[in-house]
Amino acid sequence: MCGIVGYLGLNDAKEIILNGLKRLEYRGYDSAGMSLYDGENKTFQLFKEKGRIVELEKSLTTTKAALGIGHTRWATHGKVNRENAHPHMSSDQRFSIVHNGVIDNHKALKTMYFDNHAFKSETDTEVIVELMALFAKQMPVPNAMRKTLKLLQGSYALLVIDHESPDTLYAAKHRSPLLLATADDGMIIGSDMMALIGTAERYMALEDETFLQMSKDDATIYDLDGTVLPYDMSVFDMDVLHTEKGNFPHYMLKEIYEQPTMLRGIISKFFNGNTINISQMLLKSIKKHNRLHILAAGTSMHAGFIGKGLFEKLTGIPTEVHIASEFAYQMPILGDKPYFILISQSGETADLRACLLNLKKKQYPTLTITNVITSTLAREADDALEIFAGPEIAVASTKAYTAQIAVLSILAYALSCQTFALKRELSEVAIAMEQCLDNVDYIDDLVKQTLTKDHCFYIGRGNDYHVSLEAALKLKEISYIHTEGFAAGELKHGTIALIETDTPVIAIISNDKTAQNTRSNLAEVHSRGAKTLTIVFESLQEPGDEIVLKNVNPSLAPLLTVLPSQLIAYYAALNRGHDIDKPRNLAKSVTVE
């Protein structure tokens, strides 16, 4: 989703912003732009292009800039074109702005303040810069900014430059992330840690309803009434090496391969001998409640389904999983002592933030499980647990899913009085993952033979069904093959009508109690012409099975059964020539509702 970078200092803003925008490419975008102040010629220049950042780079004519703001746009209001790309400039040419988020009342503001004005773009952003210009005719710029911000309903992370004041950068934040950092000889501001890599020295996340005024040496942060707010910065220690592809052709493949090592890393983070490193206060607080509610979206929600099984089996506490975007506006009956677990790789998903704000208002206890411990959801929940997956750059989430399940299993285990050796069982999974990763060429061949159609089904029962949902999401998001994950027994109640000659149906079979039932469902589609493929545990193997996995503890089976499905998605997308790490229409961090 949209990305923002701004720089003011003695180094070259153009290079710093360009590097930052390139690091934000993983978030997904469709156009990019920059506004730069050329100190030598004392002019501001605006550049924007539809498509990839290389197109923007080609168009840049400024040689060196002291101040600049840059943006990658993921279209929400208005088509993907140059006019709608950011930055937007006020019609009096005084201000340039970049914006992440959505201004819900942009139409009303246009009618109220600019009845006959011809806006150049279809965006919800342009009205902000026109309001700034309008109010700045009557008052100092900081007051004009505050007056504008107070009119906005919705979410924003904004950077604004006043072309009459090239030694100042203005910014504001409400419900969309924004990080401020000191840099060598300047200050940098961005929407994501990735944007700051290589430049930031110390950093901090801005709070909602704040705006700031920054010079090359310093920044002052205000609330919307103009009161100066104190702040503290932490050392920025994100390692550039962890964010590079190394010898892998794609981030997604690198991240798939990282899973066994990552799992061992999680074990060492959470286990101290046989003691678990989760605060007793947190465990006690969860135990006081009689119903767990897991909130998440997409892949993280699929991890949540596995978490539900683990919590119910190990702790006996009834657990429900909710789609965050539904829960935010349709809160179900919760029970008398509910506890909320928010799962999010990025920790910035707007649907979850909407839930969290509601939960906080009602003073319900919350825990965020996330890969980004500095994220908004981690900071704002009562407690946070890090999943230690390391940076996940590919839009299609792989290692975050397995890391989330691993941490959920450790949390469930810590809450229970179980005696099985979870640490050893997780280590066994890491070994089984490595064995599966030794056979990737075989999986590529199977994909070439089987995935010959534009539709596909994954089927399974219990945990295998929940992994089917994730497997289907992975395949559709990067290969664009229309795929559904189905409870194996449910297919015959209608959807089997879609099976025709050579429709691929992939069955996941890891549970001895349901293996034969799933095999019967597979036989039903096979006899109607489907091309079938199986992912099975070796103890359940039958002649003709294709992908056979080492047995692991059945409660942890999803950590392993998902792996071939990630590889299937990867090779299907590769064979179709798609942009694997940046699939069309998708964003890594979904910061609008």
- With CA atoms as reference, report the closest residue to 554 among 475, 474, 491, 467: 467
Q: From residue 101 to residue 130, what is the string marking binding to ligand AGP with x (rule CB under 6 A)?
A: ------------------------------
Q: The tokens of 248 are what?
A: 């892998």
Please state, as a whole number, how many other Cβ atoms lie within 10 Å of the Cβ of residue 177: 27
Catalytic residue chosen out of the listed positions 474, 531, 582, 588: 588
Query: C-alpha distances in angstroms, 384 versus 319, 355, 556, 567?
Result: 19, 16, 23, 31
> Judged by CB, which is closer to ligand AGP: 6, or 564?
564
Q: Residue 291 and residue 317: Cα distance in Å, rounded? A: 6
Q: Give the one residue of 298, 309, 365, 558 binding ligand AGP; rule: CB under 6 A.
A: 298
CB of 396 to ligand AGP, least distance (A): 4
CB of 522 to ligand AGP, least distance (A): 26
Q: Residue 280 and residue 283: Cα distance in Å, rounded? A: 5
Q: Give the one residue of 297, 403, 429, 447 binding ligand AGP; rule: CB under 6 A.
A: 297
Q: Rule CB under 6 A: is residue 590 a binding residue for ligand AGP?
A: yes
- With CA atoms as reference, report the closest residue to 71 among 126, 2, 120: 2
> Judged by CB, which is closer to ligand AGP: 29, or 170?
29
> Judged by CB, which is closer to ligand AGP: 84, or 397?
397
Cis-peptide, bond into residue 504, ω within 30° of zero? no
List the Cα angle 500/502/508 in 5-degree steps: 100
Q: Residue 377 and residue 373: Cα distance in Å, rounded? A: 8
Contact range with ligand AGP by CB under 6 A, out of 142-150, 215-223, 251-259, 345-353: 345-353
Q: Give the one residue of 397, 468, 479, 532 binding ligand AGP; rule: CB under 6 A.
A: 397
Alpha helices in 97-137, H assignment, sequence order: 106-113, 126-136
Helix (H, G, I), strand (E, B) or coil at 26: helix
> Judged by CB, which is closer to ligand AGP: 300, or 315?
300
Query: C-alpha distances in angstroms, 295 versus 118, 308, 442?
Result: 43, 11, 37
Contact 124, 70 (CB under 8 A): no
Q: Residue 470 and residue 343: Cα distance in Å, rounded? A: 15
CB of 344 to ligand AGP, least distance (A): 3
Q: Rule CB under 6 A: is residue 344 a binding residue for ligand AGP?
A: yes
Q: Rule CB under 6 A: is residue 349 a binding residue for ligand AGP?
A: yes
> Judged by CB, which is closer to ligand AGP: 144, or 253?
253
Q: For ligand AGP, how many residues bind (rule: CB under 6 A)? A: 14
Q: Residue 494 and residue 381: Cα distance in Å, rounded? A: 42
Q: Residue 500 and residue 464: Cα distance in Å, rounded? A: 24
CB of 89 to ligand AGP, least distance (A): 32
Contact 177, 201 (CB under 8 A): no
CB of 475 to ligand AGP, least distance (A): 11
Query: C-alpha distances in angstroms, 590 versus 29, 181, 414, 502?
Result: 12, 23, 31, 35
Query: Looking at residue 556, what DSSP letter applies?
Result: G
List the Cα angle 582/376/227 in 5-degree steps: 125
Contact range with ligand AGP by CB under 6 A, out of 40-48, 198-206, 213-221, 294-302: 294-302
In the block, tokens 């997956």 appear at 389
> Judged by CB, which is closer to ligand AGP: 282, or 301?
301
> Judged by CB, which is closer to ligand AGP: 183, or 377?
377
Contact range with ligand AGP by CB under 6 A, out of 107-115, 392-400, 409-417, 522-530: 392-400
CB of 247 to ligand AGP, least distance (A): 23
Contact range with ligand AGP by CB under 6 A, out of 167-175, 338-346, 380-388, 409-417: 338-346
- One-letter amino acid at 2 equals C
Query: Looking at residue 246, what DSSP letter applies?
Result: T
- With CA atoms as reference, report the closest residue to 283 among 296, 270, 302, 267: 270
Is 2 part of the annotated catalytic residue set?
A: yes
Q: Give the one residue of 259, 319, 345, 463 binding ligand AGP; rule: CB under 6 A.
A: 345
> Judged by CB, which is closer to ligand AGP: 344, or 409?
344
Q: Rule CB under 6 A: is residue 591 a binding residue for ligand AGP?
A: no
DSSP secondary structure letters along 216-245: SS-EEEEETTS-EE----EE----GGGGS-
Contact range with ligand AGP by CB under 6 A, out of 104-112, 168-176, 390-398, 437-445: 390-398
Q: Give the one residue of 125, 210, 299, 561 binding ligand AGP; rule: CB under 6 A.
A: 299
Contact range with ligand AGP by CB under 6 A, out of 342-350, 510-518, 553-561, 569-577: 342-350
Q: Give the one residue of 90, 300, 319, 521 binding ligand AGP; rule: CB under 6 A.
A: 300
Q: Rule CB under 6 A: is residue 396 a binding residue for ligand AGP?
A: yes
CB of 388 to ligand AGP, least distance (A): 15
Q: Residue 406 and residue 410: Cα distance in Å, rounded? A: 6
CB of 380 to ligand AGP, least distance (A): 14
> Judged by CB, which is closer to ligand AGP: 110, or 245?
245
CB of 173 to ligand AGP, least distance (A): 19
Q: Which residue is nearest to ligand AGP (CB)?
A: 298
Exposure letters 46-55 (e unless 16+ CB within 10 A, then b)? ebbbbebbee
> Judged by CB, which is closer to ligand AGP: 159, or 295?
295
* Interacting positions 460-519 with ligand AGP (CB under 6 A): 477
CB of 262 to ligand AGP, least distance (A): 16
Is 436 part of the annotated catalytic residue set?
A: no
Q: Give helix 126-136 / helix 106-113 axis angle, nearest 10°.
A: 40
> Judged by CB, which is closer to ligand AGP: 348, or 464?
348
> Which positions are annotated as active-site residues?
2, 588
Report the interface residues with ligand AGP, using CB under 6 A.
297-300, 344-346, 349, 395-397, 477, 589-590
